Structure 1
Amino acid sequence: MKKSLLAVAAIGAFASAAQAQSSVTVYGILDVGFQGVTTRGAASSSTSTAVQNPVGTNGKSNQTRFSGEGAEQTSRLGFKGNEDLGGGTSAFFTVEFALNPTDATLSGSYGNGLANRQSFVGLKKSGIGQAAIGTQYTPIHMAVGRTDPGQQNNMLGNVIYATNASQGSGQTATSYTVRYNNALTLMTDRIAGFQLNAVYNNNNTDTNQTASAGGSTNNNAYGAGLNYVWQKLNVDAAFQASSSPNWSAQQTTGPALPASASTAVANLPANVLGTAINMGQQYYGATYDFGILKAYAGYISAKYSNQAAPSSYLQRTAQQIGVRSFVTPSIEAWASAGTGRFTGQNLAQSAASLVAANSSSLTQNFSGYQLGSNYYLSKRTNLYAIYGSTAVSSSSVAQSEGGSSYGVGVRHTF
C-alpha cells in the first residue's frame, strides 16, 4: 500500500513538473475612443499637370469618429508560450493579431479580417541568446519602441514613428519598415550592458506589410541593432537595408514609395525612381531617466535609390526630442517636438513632371509636435487624451500642407 502511494505521489510530482516546464500566455490590448482629424491639402501646382493634390481637395478637410483604431495603441490579441527543454535551452513562440473593435470583421479590412502582426517560433540558450523564424519586428522598430516619448501611438505629430493613413495625412508618413515576413532573427543575451540583434530574410513577399508602411514584393533584407543600458541611460543604434526588383507601380503615397516619406514625394508620379529600388534606413536614439522625468532623443534617416543609378534617390531625415513623466502617481504626461527634411536628387531621369518644373532635385521641410496624458484607473486600465500636429513647407514641387488630430479614449491591457 505504501509503495502504491509512493508511486502515485511520484507520478503526480512528475506530471506537475512536466506541466510547469511549459506555459502559454494570452495577452492583448483594447483601445477605443473618439478621434478628430483636420488636414490641409496642397493645391495642384500650375507648373505641371502631373503634380497632384494627394488629399484630393483644396483647403481643410475635417472628420470625427468613434474609432477602433486606437489613438494610443493598436488593439491586438496575442498568444505566447515557452517550453523548458532542459540544460538551459527553451523553445518559445508568439502569435499576435490586430483587432478592430468597431468593425464587422476582426481586424477591419486587413487580410480579410485578420491581420498578422507577429508570428514566429524560436529557440533560446541561456548565456548565449536566441534565434527565431517568422513574421517579426525590425531592429529599428524595436529601437524606436524603447526611445519614443509617444510610445508609438497612432496620432499625428510624431516625426519618427509617424501616423497611419487613417489620420488623413501622408506628409510625415512612416519612415521605416516595421516588420518583415519570413525573417530569421538573432539576439544575444545582455553582456556588460550590451545586447545585439540582427535580422535577415530572402525573397520576402511582405504580404502583411502594406506598401505605405514599408513593404514590397520579392524583397531581400538584412539589418542589425545594438542596445546599451547603463543605470538610467538607454542608447540604441540600428540599421536595415533591403532591395526589391519589382516595386509596385501603383505606389503613390507612404514611406516606402521610395520617396514615400513626404507630400513632396507623394506629389510625384508613381515610380519616380523606377521599380528596382534599394532602401537604406538607420536610427539612433537615447533616453535618460532623471527621476522626475525621462528625456528622449532620436534621429532617423531613410534613403531610397534606383538600383541602376544610385545617384537618383529620395531621402527622409528627422530628429525629435521629448519628455515623459508621472505628474502624480496616477497621471502621466508626455510631449515631443521634431523637425525633418525630404531631399531628392537626379529625379529628372525618372520623373517627367520635374523636367516641366525645371528641376531635377527637391527639398521640403516638415515639423511636428505632440502632447498627451494618461490617467490610470488601475495598473491595466487608463483614460487618455492625445493631440498632435504636423506642418510641411512649400517647395518647388508641392505647396505647404498640414494636419492635426486628437484622440480621447480608454485603453485596457490584459
Structure 2
Amino acid sequence: MKRNAILSALALLACGVAGAQSSSATLFGVIDAGVARLSATGGAHATGPGSGGNGTSRLGFRGTEDLGGGFSAGFWLEGQLNNDVGAGATQGTGLDFARRATVSLGGRFGELRLGRDYAPTYLNMNQFDVWGQRGLGTVETTGAARAGVGGYARTANGIAYFLPADLGGLYGSVQYAFGEQLSNKAVVANAAGLSSGAANAATERTGNYYGGRIGYARGSFDVSASYGVFEDAVRSVGTAFYAGDYRIANVGASFDAGVVKPMLLYQRERIDGRNAVADFSFETLAIGATAPVGAGLWRAQVARYSQSHTRNDFDKYSVGYVHYLSKRTQLYGDLARLRNKGTGTVALTNLSGSVNAPVPTAGGASMGYMLGVKHVF
C-alpha cells in the first residue's frame, strides 16, 4: 500500500510537471525615450523629451498553454507607458491594458481571438509604413479625416478569426466588434427638430466595427489589402447634426531585395455623411524604403495626403537611421518635414511624450528632428 501511495504521488507530481512544461507566461515591454525639437513656419518651436519615437513604450504579459491534440489557449495583456513622466498612457493615471487585452484559442483551424485588439485595417497600415506607425516619419501624421471618430487603431469588444500559418503564404483575418449600444433607431430617424444633445445620442449601430484583411507573402514579396467600417462613428461637425460611417480601405506591398526593401502604401478613408454634411474622403499615398548598412538601418519615406472639398493637401518627407547596439537596444535619429498647401495648418505629430508640435501659419511647413534610444525586454 505504501508503494502504491508513493507511485500515485509520483504520478501526480509528473502530471503537474508536464502541465507546467506545456504552458508559459512572459513579461515583456519596450522603453523608448528621446529628445525632439519641433518648429513651424511663423517662428514657433518646442524642444523636450519624448516617448515612442521608434516604438510605443509598453508593458505587457502574455502566455500560452498546450491543450493537446494540436490545440492551444493564450492570453495577452498590454498597456502603454509614458516613461518621460512615469505614468500610463494618460499622465496621472495607472497602467491599463488598452493596447491589447485578449484571450484566444488556436489550432490547425487558425486562431479565434476575443477582446480588445488591433483593427485589421490598422494592421495593414502598420505593415507597410517604413516607420511602423511611430515617430516623426510615420505615415500616420494626422487625423484630418478622423475628426470626431475617436480611436481607429483598435477595437473593443471584438471577435476575430485569423487564418492558419501554413497556407503557402496566404494570411488574413476578419473581425467584428460590438458597440454595446441599446436599440434606439428613433434617434436618427429624423434629425429635423432634434436638439443637438438628442441628435448626438448613440444609436444601436454606434461603435460597431467590421473588417478584414487578406495578404500573400512568399520569399521576398509581400502584398495585402484590408477594408473596415466603423459604424455611426461621427456624431456631429460643429453645431450641425451629422451621423456617418467611417470607412477605411488600403493596400500595401513590399519587396526585400537584401540591399534595399521598398514599400508602397495607398489608403482611402471616407466618412459617409447623412443629414446635413456632405461625404468626405481622405487619401494617403506613401512610398518608402529601408536599407541595412552594417549594424544599422537607413529608412526614408515620401507621403502625399489629399482630402476632398478642399485644396489644403499636404506632403511629408522623412529620413532616419537606426543603429543596433544589440538585438534589444537601438539608437535612432529621425528628420521630417511636412509642407502644407492652400490654407492648411497641419503639424507633425505622433509622439507620446510632452513635446507639442507648434501649429504653422496657413500654408506653412512643420519640421522636426528627434534623437532617442529604444530598449526591448
How big is the shift at 1:307?
3.1
Aligned to 1:405: 368
Q: Hey, what does 2:212 align to over in structure 1?
A: 224
SS at match of 1:24: strand
Change (3 A) 1:341 1:271: farther
Alpha-carbon distance in structure 2 between the residues aligned to 1:396 and 1:102: 31
Whether contact under 8 Å (1:27, 1:77) holds in the other structure is yes
Taking a change above 3 Å as real, the CA distance of residues 172 and 290 of structure 1, as seen in their structure-2 partners, is: farther
The one-letter code of the counterpart of 2:247 is: G
Alpha carbons of 1:62 and 1:229: their partners in 2 closer, same or farther (altered >3 Å)?
same
TM-aligned CA distance change 1:338 to 1:19, over 3 Å: same
Q: Distance in 2 between matches of 1:189 and 1:396?
A: 45
Give the alignment's Cα RMSD to 1 decimal. 2.8
Provide closer, same or farther for how the CA distance between residues 396 and 14 of structure 1 changes in structure 2, counting only shifts above 3 A. closer
The CA deviation at 1:389 is 1.4
Q: Equivalent residues in 2 for 1:20-169 (5 A)?
A: 20-40=21-41, 59-67=42-50, 69-109=51-91, 114=96, 116-126=98-108, 128-155=109-136, 157-158=137-138, 160-162=139-141
For residue 170 of structure 2, the aligned residue among 182, 186, 194 is 194
Amino acid at match of 1:33: G
CA distance in 1: counterparts of 2:157 and 2:283, whole angstroms: 28
Q: What is the 5 A alignment of 1:234-383?
A: 234-244=222-232, 247=235, 249=236, 270=238, 274-308=241-275, 312-328=278-294, 330-344=295-309, 362-383=310-331
* Cα-to-partner distance string for 1:147-201 (whole Å, 9 max, x where unaligned): 111122221x43x3226xxxxxx66989982001111111111313211201111
The one-letter amino acid paired with 2:170 is: F
**After superposition, what is the alpha-carbon deviation per residue over 1:76-119, rounded to whole angstroms, capped at 9, x for unaligned?**
00111111122211111111000011215333338666461111
State how far apart, in whole Å, the 1-side matches of 2:92 and 2:152 are: 17
Q: Is the 8 A contact 1:95 1:120 kept in 2?
A: yes
| SS across alignment from 1:19 | helix
1:258 is matched with which residue?
A: none
Match of 2:155 in 1: 180
Taking a change above 3 Å as real, the CA distance of residues 374 and 243 of structure 1, as seen in their structure-2 partners, is same
Q: Distance in 2 between matches of 1:63 and 1:288?
A: 38
Q: CA deviation at 1:14?
A: 2.0
Quote the offset at 1:401 in angstroms: 3.4
Identity of aligned residues (%): 24
Distance of 2:376 and 2:239 partners within structure 1: 41
Aligned AA (2:122) = H
Aligned pair in 2 of structure 1 residues 245, 162: CA closer, same or farther (>3 Å)? closer
In 2, are the aligned partners of 1:171 and 1:402 still within 8 Å (CA)? no
Instruction: Go from structure 1 to structure 2 and tell me whether the alpha carbon gap of 1:224 and 1:111 turns closer, same or farther (over 3 Å shift).
Output: farther
Q: What is the aligned length?
A: 336
Instruction: Tell me, in whole angstroms, the C-alpha distance in 2 between the residues paired with 1:241 and 1:33.
Output: 36
Structure 1 residues 307 and 131: alpha-carbon distance in aligned structure 2, compared to 1, 3 A threshold: farther
TM-score norm. by structure 2 comes to 0.81
User: Structure 1 residues 307 and 20 mapped into 2: Cα distance closer, same or farther (>3 Å)?
Assistant: farther
3-state secondary structure, aligned to 1:60: coil
Matching residue's letter, 1:192: G
Task: Answer whether contact 1:296 1:322 (CA < 8 A) is retained.
Answer: yes
1:39 and 1:403 in contact (8 A); partners too: yes
**For the Cα contact (< 8 Å) 1:172–1:390, is it kept in 2?**
no
Residues 317 and 342, structure 1, Cα contact 8 Å, conserved in 2:
yes
Q: Does the aligned pair in 2 maintain the 1:25–1:81 contact within 8 Å? A: yes
| CA contact 1:278–1:307 (8 Å) conserved in 2 | no
Deviations 1:234-268 (A, max 9, x none): 11100101222762x5xxxxxxxxxxxxxxxxxxx
CA gap of 1:139–1:271, structure 2 versus 1, over 3 A, is farther
Distance 1:20 1:75 in 2: 30
Query: CA offsets, 1:32-55, max 9 Å, x none?
Result: 111111134xxxxxxxxxxxxxxx
Q: Give the gaps of 5 or more residues in structure 2.
A: 182-200, 346-360
The one-letter amino acid paired with 1:368 is: K
Answer yes or no: is the 8 Å Cα contact 2:344–2:363 preserved in 1: no
The one-letter code matched in structure 1 to 2:104 is G
Distance 1:38 1:74 in 2: 23
